[in-house]
Amino acid sequence: MKFYLKNVFLLLILFLITNSCQFYNDTIEYKKSSVEFLNNIMDGKINESVNLFALEHEGLKQMDKNTLNEGLYQFHTDMISQYGKDVKFTFLEARKHFSNNNNSIPNSTNVNYLFENDKKFGFVKFIYDDNSKKILNVEPEFSNKPLPSMIMFYIILLVGLLIPIFNIYVFNMIRKSQLKRKWLKYIVLIILNFPTIKYFPLEGFDFQFFNFQFLGYGFSYYSIFSNVVIALPIGAIYWFWKLKKLQKEQEYNQFAEQLIEN
């Protein structure tokens, strides 16, 4: 029985690794295709864009090519008129679908891109056929929302570095001390970092009380979808205070001993 479970477990791990590698390789191919498609749209190369579609797919067999051409030309016209020619495209995420749950197309992958100029941004959502590796659908979203300022994000990003620096400083204080069971104190430093404050350039600040953050600091950078998290280092503050108190007691005892000896 143990041998059977072990084999099942190994097969499951192998399956997950294989699928993860396949998804990674597919994502690279989809990103390349998406960039090619978007460059063609910006340059008005409609026919080249059409060639990237999975026209042999069952869902597109009934599509009129002229209708597809007109839709892509409208995409080109709207993009140039609303955002100009100087547009930057940024990959956001890819999601694979194995079934038709949530109205998704089975055996497909959603690929999302952000586009922006120096004032506003929007999105492009692709659906790729995992068999042919070609496009099934493209859906631009011309939100025309103004770009958020990233100044506050960078300020918090830099100031927040003081939190892990302080945690590491106290970690070193514990290491040099005469305390017993130091490993428990290290765990306290790592775990007791809350409450947390999150900052998103698009949404602003968010406060969460019970949200533990490793060493009290973290961030992710995805253009305007970036975020930074800082937490109150409760564990480090406590042990900093405790060690300083012990240090003062030791200094006082040493001073008292010197007075007695003299």
At residue 14, the pLDDT reads: 47
Cα–Cα distance for residue pair 76/83, rounded to 1 Å:
10
Cα–Cα distance for residue pair 239/245, rounded to 1 Å:
9
Q: Quick one: which of 242, 239, 225, 216 has its CA closest to 159? A: 216
pLDDT of 22 over the 80 cut:
no
Please give the structure tokens belonging to residue 221: 């950078």
pLDDT of 47 over the 50 cut:
yes
When comparing pLDDT for 13 and 248, which is higher?
248
Cross-strand bridge partners of residue 121: 116, 145
At residue 2, the pLDDT reads: 47
Please give the structure tokens belonging to residue 91: 């990959």
At residue 256, the pLDDT reads: 62
Cross-strand bridge partners of residue 129: 108
Chain Cα centroid distance, residue 107: 24
The 8-class DSSP code of residue 119 comes to: S
CB 109: neighbour CB atoms within 10 A? Answer: 22
DSSP reduced 3-state for 72: helix
Residues 6+ apart with CB under 8 A from 105: 59, 97, 127, 129, 136
- The per-residue pLDDT for range 142-197, each reduced to its tens digit, is 887 888 888 999 999 999 999 999 999 999 988 888 888 888 888 888 888 888 99
- The per-residue pLDDT for range 59-77, each reduced to its tens digit, is 888 888 888 999 999 999 9
Cα–Cα distance for residue pair 125/250, rounded to 1 Å:
65
Please give the structure tokens belonging to residue 104: 């998704």
Instruction: Quickly list H helices, 44-161.
Output: 46-50, 65-83, 151-159
DSSP reduced 3-state for 191: helix
Buried b (16+ CB within 10 A) or exposed e, 156-193: bbeebeebbebbeebbebbeeeeeeeeeebbebbbebb
pLDDT of 130 over the 60 cut:
yes
Sign of CA dihedral 206, 212, 217, 222: negative
DSSP reduced 3-state for 226: coil
At residue 9, the pLDDT reads: 47
Please give the structure tokens belonging to residue 101: 């749950």
